Structure 1
Amino acid sequence: YCTAIYFLLTSENFSAFHRIKQDEIWHFYEGSPLYVHVIDPSGKYTRHEVGLDFANGQTPQLVVPASHWFASSVKDMDSYSLVGCTVAPGFDFDDFELADRQELINKFPNHQDIIKKLTR
């Protein structure tokens, strides 16, 4: 089975770094493009741009593999992104881990700027 949600993220907020034990598929619906920031288990950082401007490299959906740290933020100021996430097997809070800022910085010191920006 799978689970699916949709939510509105504003430019005044962000989805903090976290990881889950399942793959998560992001779907773009409306508004400003969304940055999805991913740190893989080896420490490689990638900023993906989820949106509808295909000519400039945006994609309408993105798969974040299981056990990768990820966060998201709205690209444009004074805007919003309406997005959805599908998780398979289905999302369970027991499989969710919110990043501890200092622990993540200790593990990935090269990415401390983005970690500080996208953790609480």
Structure 2
Amino acid sequence: MLPAGSVSQLHRIPCAETWHFYMGEPLTVFELHDDGHIEFAVLGPDLDAGHRLQYTVPPNVWFGSFPTLDVVSFASNGSILVKAPKRDPELHYSLVGCTCAPAFQFEDFELATHSELKVLAPNAEPFLDYLILPS
């Protein structure tokens, strides 16, 4: 469960990770690839609006997620991020699950650092600031 006001920090693993939407509000998965390009996928119940019920992040791609409605607007290159006013996390949340193949091994988990990813995607600093918590 990802309540409003929280994020899943940018990280990567060497296996594919499939996200499954179960209930609540939509959730956005942010991906940063080694060539610096960024992709967004929205998991949610509104298929007519382009939401997906499941989405697979490829192996070795930096990714994180956030409740979609916590952000009012953003640029597709990550250079702009406008947050929504704070929302009650008891009422606003996304319930998702993840499946990894091959199996997830915690020792393979790599948490992103701001300095490392700023070199990869210098224009995406607003998203890096949002999805990488200070160490």
TM-score by length of 1: 0.90
What are the within-5 Å matches in structure 2 for residues 24-103 of structure 1? 24-76=17-69, 77-78=87-88, 79-103=92-116
Work out the percentage of aligned pairs sharing the same amino acid. Answer: 41
RMSD of aligned residue pairs (Cα, Å):
0.9
Q: Aligned partner of 1:88: which letter?
A: A
**What 5-or-longer segments of structure 1 have no aligned partner?**
1-7
Count, aligned residues: 113
Instruction: Measure how far apart 1:75 and its partner are.
Output: 1.6
The structure showing larger relative contact order (alpha-carbon pairs under 8 Å, at least 6 residues apart) is 1
Deviating runs (4+, > 6 A) in structure 1?
Answer: none
Distance of 2:115 and 2:36 partners within structure 1: 15
TM-score by length of 2: 0.80
**What 5-or-longer segments of structure 2 have no aligned partner?**
70-86
Instruction: Measure how far apart 1:37 and its partner are.
Output: 0.3
Residues 30 and 38, structure 2, Cα contact 8 Å, conserved in 1:
yes
